[in-house]
């Protein structure tokens, strides 16, 4: 496989000083570093990111030293100045995107200078990446700090495969649309070939924004953008399960005198009274984590249930985070005050209700807390995933313990066995704490074991491998397209056959092939360029050009009145040979229309922006002008409703691009083209079309025909071409011969 590179805001090492005071690197312990290490070294790639110090806070010599230390680890440094960090990271990332994507719209700052810094810094990351990557490489970009990088990379190097993973929630469209730069962000992300989220809900919100803001066609989780397919999918991030399990086993076996201070303190606590219980809470001090809500619930418990006073302690580890941002400073004061209040009210010489640590702890202390706490209380008001919840469960090597978990955390989807709460419902949280404290061991073990099995299977290594596997599959889809693409060599061959032929039958679909889609289908008249292409093709009388379309005969008849072309309309009901009158190709009836028309009309009434088109032998409901998601929903409904009706009347439902059409069965472009070809003796046949109604044409024409699909989707055509623009330039070159 080709190289795989990682791009993330931070590099996976932090800078320390060794015993001589020289710089050295310490590996980050986070899940991302662990997961990525498992894949990127195997693929011989680089890790591109910010080393963690402002470039203008050190001397040039120090920066060079730091860069070379990172280089030894396969890392490429992106240097950021103090001002860039302030405006890009603290500004746009943490004051705009973070609150917005966590539904704290009231905290969002919309500063154009923050946005400008975001664009510039993203460009810096992209430029650094472009220096190290080659055609054919894979690049995996991480998180909300770098959402513009995929597009920036793809623009300069289209022949790479780009994956993007978002570690935080993707908000609903109604929230995302608030952002003035929403289209730029979405466009940036869509530069990737694969976009990963923790949960299906975030994926769904993302697709909904793509549909509503850009109107791209989406089938399941595939977004069709001209000649590209972008896939969105859910990959719930796992943890290094074994690392937590092993560390916890080791703690249980540590001899008394070797135990850490925290470990000894915790044991002392239980020695005083074995019935005592510990509730654990660990997070970065962030407003998304719901820390005040949790404290209120704990306070309620002590207030309403005096029997738990002296018996239950909340161990709260709040890791300092983003303390330059004002909302974090306010949160810190709020939490300090709440903890002080509760301890003051319910504590005594022998009892402190909350043990509050405002710092980070070394890994083994963290696991000690996990392995010795009876209950984990994890109550974010919004959280992309929440790895703490997974780490707690992995550390429960004797399978006891109870998890109280917010329904707003992504991890909840994998932890149905936890006690699930709404973090805004303090009463519910209070009852959940009581339920957890009183849960018997058999029940605890049943629940913990079930979650453990799941987390063990889908750990961080599996997560990373799955994502890379999906990236490979996307790459294959793109390659399939390339395999059929009309290359210069293939075109040369087609032109050669075309030149030597004495009679050339050319079938051209109209919408999506010769002409792009527009909102008003009535107005998509041929433009000057198209008319001149048709003229130059038909000037040579060896070329028998036929426009073959689902459109009605009146419209096409009017548009091509002065052109030397044949017309096949309504998918093959009508034929107009050059110089002749309209003739019916098959005997069809439209007596079914009065029965179907009211059904379609009711959809027009209930779907603003949609309308009904009445052709001679078919009825078409168009929803391109409707709100995108509503249109698709109604199209599904309509199809279901029609299925029962059409079966008894030999009718067919055809779904084109943003249309649902009902017509008499057995008529299609393939049959029509073949009957048109009878007695013609064409020694060269060309057919071009973009949607599935053209597939009949591709399938039913003689094998020697040159069939060309416009777009990337699966097809029976022999070749593919990417866009209307390329169709036109191809036809122009053909006409010259
Ligand atoms: C973002 C998303 C998503 C915490 N305190 C200490 C410590 N930690 C470690 C934990 C855990 C990590 O930090 C925290 O991860 P979370 O997932 O809980 O939360 P965020 O930092 O907000 O992460 C989140 C995540 O990205 C991954 O995609 O799950 O939703 O917000 O691993 O163990 N580690 C040590 N000492 C501490 O005091 N050593």
Rounded distance between C-alpha atoms, residue 691 and residue 548, angstroms:
12
Task: Provide the terminal-to-terminal Cα distance of the chain, rounded to the nearest Å.
Answer: 43
Does residue 369's CB lie within 6 angstroms of at least one atom of ligand 1?
A: no
Q: Which residue minimizes the CA distance to atom 26 of ligand 1? A: 167
674-689 burial, b at 16+ Cβ within 10 Å, e below that, comes to: eebbeeeebebbbbbb
Same domain, 197 and 260: no
Distance 456 CA to ligand 1 centre (A): 18
- How many beta carbons lie within 10 A of that of residue 588, not counting itself? 20
Same domain, 625 and 725: no
Rounded distance between C-alpha atoms, residue 468 and residue 140, angstroms:
9
- Closest atom of ligand 1 to 360 CA is 38
pLDDT band at 27 (very low <50, low <70, confident <90, very high): confident
| pTM attached to this predicted model | 0.86
Q: Could you tell me if residue 464 is inside a domain?
A: no
| Residue 597 reports pLDDT greater than 80 | yes
Structure tokens at 440: 């018997």
Same domain, 617 and 504: no
* Phi, psi (deg, nearest 5) at residue 329: -65, -40
Distance 389 CA to ligand 1 centre (A): 10
- What is the share, in percent, of the chain residues with pLDDT greater than 70? 99
Q: Could you tell me if residue 251 is inside a domain?
A: yes
Residue 402 pairs in a beta bridge with 375
Select from 213, 234, 255 the last residue of a domain. 234
Q: Could you tell me if residue 463 is inside a domain?
A: no
Does residue 361's CB lie within 6 angstroms of at least one atom of ligand 1?
A: yes
Q: Which residue minimizes the CA distance to atom 38 of ligand 1? A: 360
Q: Could you tell me if residue 466 is inside a domain?
A: no
Q: Which residue minimizes the CA distance to atom 7 of ligand 1? A: 360
The secondary structure element, H or E, covering residue 557 is: helix 553-559
List C-alpha distances in Å: 362 to 16, 227, 260, 367, 369. Answer: 15, 50, 11, 9, 11
Same domain, 227 and 371: no
Same domain, 82 and 103: yes
Does residue 405's CB lie within 6 angstroms of at least one atom of ligand 1?
A: no
Same domain, 646 and 706: no
Domain boundaries, position 514: 485-584+668-736
In terms of DSSP bridges, do strands 13-17 and 4-10 run parallel, antiparallel, or are they unpaired?
Answer: unpaired
Q: How many domains does the chain have?
A: 4
Does residue 387's CB lie within 6 angstroms of at least one atom of ligand 1?
A: yes
Structure tokens at 396: 């429960």
Ranking 103-112, 210-219, 724-733 by mean pLDDT, the lowest is 210-219
Select from 619, 646, 663 the last residue of a domain. 663
Of 528, 503, 500, 504, nearest to 515 by C-alpha is: 528
List C-alpha distances in Å: 310 to 275, 276, 346, 354. Answer: 11, 8, 9, 11
Of 416, 460, 28, 392, nearest to 245 by C-alpha is: 392
| Residue 524 reports pLDDT greater than 90 | no
Distance 413 CA to ligand 1 centre (A): 18
- State the pLDDT at residue 35: 73
Helix (H), strand (E) counts: the chain:
26, 29
Same domain, 204 and 342: no
Q: 146, 201, 365, 388: which to mutate for ligand 1, most atoms within 8 A of CB? A: 388
Q: Could you tell me if residue 339 is inside a domain?
A: yes
Q: Could you tell me if residue 474 is inside a domain?
A: no
Does residue 391's CB lie within 6 angstroms of at least one atom of ligand 1?
A: yes
Residue 693 burial class via C-beta count within 10 angstroms: exposed 0-12, middle 13-18, buried 19 and up: buried
Q: What is the mean pLDDT of residues 446-468?
A: 94
Q: Which residue minimizes the CA distance to atom 23 of ligand 1? A: 386
Residue 283: strand, helix, or coil: strand
Pure H helices in 134-260 = 149-156, 173-176, 182-189, 200-214, 241-253
CATH number, domain containing residue 732 = 3.40.50.1000
Catalytic residues: 509
| Residue 519 reports pLDDT greater than 80 | no
Same domain, 291 and 398: yes
Does residue 388's CB lie within 6 angstroms of at least one atom of ligand 1?
A: yes
- Closest atom of ligand 1 to 31 CA is 32
Does residue 284's CB lie within 6 angstroms of at least one atom of ligand 1?
A: yes
Q: 363, 385, 394, 403: which to mutate for ligand 1, most atoms within 8 A of CB? A: 385
Residue 91 burial class via C-beta count within 10 angstroms: exposed 0-12, middle 13-18, buried 19 and up: buried
Same domain, 67 and 8: yes
Residue 139 pairs in a beta bridge with 5, 162
Q: Could you tell me if residue 562 is inside a domain?
A: yes
Rounded distance between C-alpha atoms, residue 407 and residue 410, angstroms:
8
Distance 361 CA to ligand 1 centre (A): 12
Q: Which residue minimizes the CA distance to atom 34 of ligand 1? A: 363
- State the pLDDT at residue 220: 82
Rounded distance between C-alpha atoms, residue 716 and residue 711, angstroms:
13
CATH number, domain containing residue 304 = 3.40.50.2000
Ranking 22-31, 380-389, 608-617 by mean pLDDT, the lowest is 22-31
406, 423 in Cβ contact below 8 A?
Answer: yes
Does residue 363's CB lie within 6 angstroms of at least one atom of ligand 1?
A: yes
Select from 457, 474, 494 the last residue of a domain. 457
Rounded distance between C-alpha atoms, residue 609 and residue 632, angstroms:
13
Same domain, 530 and 414: no
- State the pLDDT at residue 44: 86
Same domain, 93 and 155: yes
Q: Which residue minimizes the CA distance to atom 13 of ligand 1? A: 30
Does residue 656's CB lie within 6 angstroms of at least one atom of ligand 1?
A: no
pLDDT band at 254 (very low <50, low <70, confident <90, very high): confident
Rounded distance between C-alpha atoms, residue 13 and residue 70, angstroms:
8
Same domain, 209 and 261: no
pLDDT band at 48 (very low <50, low <70, confident <90, very high): very high
CATH number, domain containing residue 649 = 3.30.70.1020
Does residue 282's CB lie within 6 angstroms of at least one atom of ligand 1?
A: yes
List C-alpha distances in Å: 645 to 60, 631, 649. Answer: 77, 21, 7
Span 535-555, pLDDT tens digits: 999 999 999 999 999 999 999
Of 60, 102, 56, nearest to 83 by C-alpha is: 56
Residue 406 pairs in a beta bridge with 421
Rounded distance between C-alpha atoms, residue 714 and residue 717, angstroms:
9
Q: Could you tell me if residue 537 is inside a domain?
A: yes
Q: Which residue minimizes the CA distance to atom 36 of ligand 1? A: 361
Span 435-445, pLDDT tens digits: 999 999 999 99
């Amino acid at each position: 496989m080709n190289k795989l590179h990682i791009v993330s805001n931070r590099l996976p090492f932090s800078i320390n000083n060794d015993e001589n005071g020289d710089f050295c690197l310490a590996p980050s312990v986070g899940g991302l570093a662990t997961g990525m290490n498992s894949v990127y070294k195997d693929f011989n790639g680089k890790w591109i990111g910010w080393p963690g110090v402002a470039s203008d806070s050190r001397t040039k010599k120090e920066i060079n030293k730091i860069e070379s230390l990172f280089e030894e680890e396969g890392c490429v440094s992106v240097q950021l100045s103090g001002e860039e960090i302030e405006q890009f990271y603290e500004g746009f990332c943490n004051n705009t995107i973070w609150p917005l994507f966590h539904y704290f719209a009231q905290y969002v700052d919309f500063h154009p200078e923050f946005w400008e810094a975001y664009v510039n810094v993203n460009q810096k990351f992209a430029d650094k990446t472009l220096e190290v990557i080659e055609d054919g490489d894979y690049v995996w970009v991480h998180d909300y700090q770098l959402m513009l990088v995929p597009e920036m990379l793809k623009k300069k190097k289209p022949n790479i495969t780009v994956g993007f993973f978002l570690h935080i929630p993707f908000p609903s469209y109604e929230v995302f649309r608030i952002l003035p730069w929403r289209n730029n962000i979405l466009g940036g992300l869509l530069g990737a070939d694969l976009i990963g989220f923790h949960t299906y809900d975030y994926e769904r919100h993302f697709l909904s924004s793509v549909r509503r803001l850009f109107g791209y066609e989406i089938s399941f989780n595939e977004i069709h953008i001209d000649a590209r397919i972008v896939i969105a999918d859910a990959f719930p991030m796992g943890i290094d399960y074994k690392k937590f399990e092993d560390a916890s086993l080791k703690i249980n076996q540590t001899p008394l005198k070797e135990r850490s201070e925290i470990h000894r303190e915790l044991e002392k606590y239980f020695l005083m009274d074995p019935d005592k219980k510990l509730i654990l809470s660990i997070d970065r001090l962030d407003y998304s984590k719901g820390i005040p809500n949790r404290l209120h619930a704990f306070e309620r418990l002590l207030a309403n249930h005096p029997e738990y006073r002296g018996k239950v302690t909340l161990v709260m580890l709040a890791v300092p985070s983003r303390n330059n941002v004002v909302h974090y400073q306010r949160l810190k004061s709020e939490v300090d005050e709440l903890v002080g209040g509760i301890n003051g009210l319910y504590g005594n010489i022998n009892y402190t209700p909350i043990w509050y640590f405002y710092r980070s702890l070394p890994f083994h202390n963290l696991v000690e807390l996990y392995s010795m706490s009876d209950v984990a209380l994890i109550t974010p008001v919004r959280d992309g995933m929440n790895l703490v919840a997974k780490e707690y469960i992995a550390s429960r090597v004797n399978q006891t313990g109870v998890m109280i978990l917010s329904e707003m955390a992504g991890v909840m989807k994998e932890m149905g066995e936890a006690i699930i709460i709404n973090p805004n419902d303090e009463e519910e949280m209070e009852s959940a704490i009581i339920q957890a404290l009183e849960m018997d061991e058999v029940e605890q073990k049943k629940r913990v074991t079930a979650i453990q099995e799941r987390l063990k299977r889908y750990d961080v290594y599996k997560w990373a491998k799955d994502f890379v596997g999906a990236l490979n599959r996307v790459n294959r889809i793109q390659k399939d397209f390339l395999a059929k693409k009309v290359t210069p060599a293939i075109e040369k061959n087609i032109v050669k056959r075309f030149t030597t032929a004495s009679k050339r039958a050319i079938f051209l679909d109209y919408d999506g092939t010769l002409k792009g889609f527009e909102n008003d289908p009535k107005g998509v008249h041929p433009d000057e360029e198209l008319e001149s292409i048709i003229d130059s093709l038909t000037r040579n009388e060896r070329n028998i050009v036929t426009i073959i379309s689902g459109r009605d005969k009146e419209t096409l008849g009017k548009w091509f009145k002065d052109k030397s072309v044949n017309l096949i309309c309504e998918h093959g009901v009508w034929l107009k040979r050059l110089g002749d009158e309209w003739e019916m190709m098959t005997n069809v009836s439209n007596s079914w229309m009065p029965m179907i028309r009211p059904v379609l009309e009711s959809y027009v009434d209930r779907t603003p922006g949609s309308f009904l088109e009445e052709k001679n032998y078919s009825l078409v409901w168009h929803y391109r002008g409707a709100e995108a998601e509503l249109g698709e929903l109604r199209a599904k409904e309509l199809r279901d409703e029609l299925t029962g009706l059409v079966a008894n009347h030999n009718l067919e439902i055809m779904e084109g691009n943003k249309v649902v059409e009902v017509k008499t069965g057995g008529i299609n472009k393939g049959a029509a083209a073949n009957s048109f070809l009878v007695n013609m003796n064409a020694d060269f046949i060309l057919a071009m079309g973009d949607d599935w109604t053209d597939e009949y044409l591709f399938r039913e024409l003689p094998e020697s025909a040159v069939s060309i699909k416009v777009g990337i989707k699966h097809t029976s055509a022999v070749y593919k071409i990417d866009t209307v623009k390329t169709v036109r330039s191809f036809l122009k070159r053909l006409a010259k011969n």
